[in-house]
Chain A
Amino acid sequence: EIVLTQSPGTLSLSPGERATLSCRASQSVSSSYLAWYQQKPGQAPRLLIYGASSRATGIPDRFSGSGSGTDFTLTISRLEPEDFAVYYCQQYGSSPSFGQGTKVEIK
C-alpha cells in the first residue's frame, strides 16, 4: 500500500497569502495518479485537482497542482476566506489511499 504523508499538519496564513501544501508518497505514484480534495467541517470532500495538475470543473484558477513520482504540491495562489479548510491528497495508481490532511487556518 502506498502511504501518503502531508506537510505541514497545519498552515496558519492570512487571506491574500500564498499557500503551499506538500504530499509525499512512500513509493512512486504511477502516471501521476494523484488528486487533491478540500473538506470543510460537516461537509464531504470536494475534488480540486486530478492527474496531479488538472483542475476539476468549476475550481478557481488560484488552485494549482504540480509534481510527479513521489512528491506533489498543491498551491493556492491567494487565499480567499472560503479556502480555509482541510486539504487531502489521494493516490489512485494502486489501491487508493489518502494523506492525513493539512489544515489551512486563518492566522
Chain B
Amino acid sequence: QVQLVQSGAEVKKPGASVKVSCKASGYTFTSYAMHWVRQAPGQRLEWMGWINAGNGNTKYSQKFQGRVTITRDTSASTAYMELSSLRSEDTAVYYCARAPPIVVVPADRSWFDPWGQGTLVTVSS
C-alpha cells in the first residue's frame, strides 16, 4: 500500500537548519508531486510548498520563500524539506503529503492523500 515514512524528531538551535526526509513506497514516485505542510502547537495547518517528483520543479509559499528548499532523490523515492534560519516559531510537526497523479491534477490544484506520520522539529536554545 501507499506509505510515506518520515525521518525522526529533531532538536535545533535558533539560526540552524533542519532537513526532514519523506520516503515513499507503494507507488511510482515520479508520477506524483509531494507537498509539505506544518502544524505548530495550537495553530492551523500551514502549507509550505511542493515538488514535482518527476521533473523536480518546485513552488513555495511566499511565507517561506528564501528559507525553504524542497528536493527529491528519485533513486531513493525520497523527498526532502530543508528549512533554514530556524527560530522558535518554527517549532512544529512537519508533514509530507502526496498529491494526486500529476497527469490527472496539477500539483498546485491538489488535495493531499496520504500524509506521512509527521516529524517534530523543536527549535530551542
Contacts and interface: CB of A to CB of B under 8 A. Distances in A.
Given A35-B111, A45-B45, A95 B117 contact: no
B85 to A, nearest CB: 21
Contacts, number: 52
A96 interface: yes
A93 B109 contact: yes
A95 B113 contact: no
Q: Which has the most chain A C-beta neighbours within 10 Å: B62, B111, B113, B116? A: B111
Interface string B46-74: 11000000000000011000000000000
A47 B62 CA distance: 25
Interface of A is mostly: loop
Interface of B is mostly: loop
A47 B114 contact: yes
Contacts of B108: 92, 95
A101 B44 contact: yes
A85 to B, nearest CB: 14
A98 B117 CA distance: 19
A44 B47 contact: no
Contacts of A35: 111-112
B47 A100 contact: no
Given A44-B116, A44-B117, A45-B115, A99 B44 contact: yes
7 contacts: A44-B115, A44-B116, A45-B45, A45-B115, A90-B112, A97-B47, A99-B44
Interface of A: 33, 35, 37, 43-47, 50-51, 56, 88, 90, 92-93, 95-101
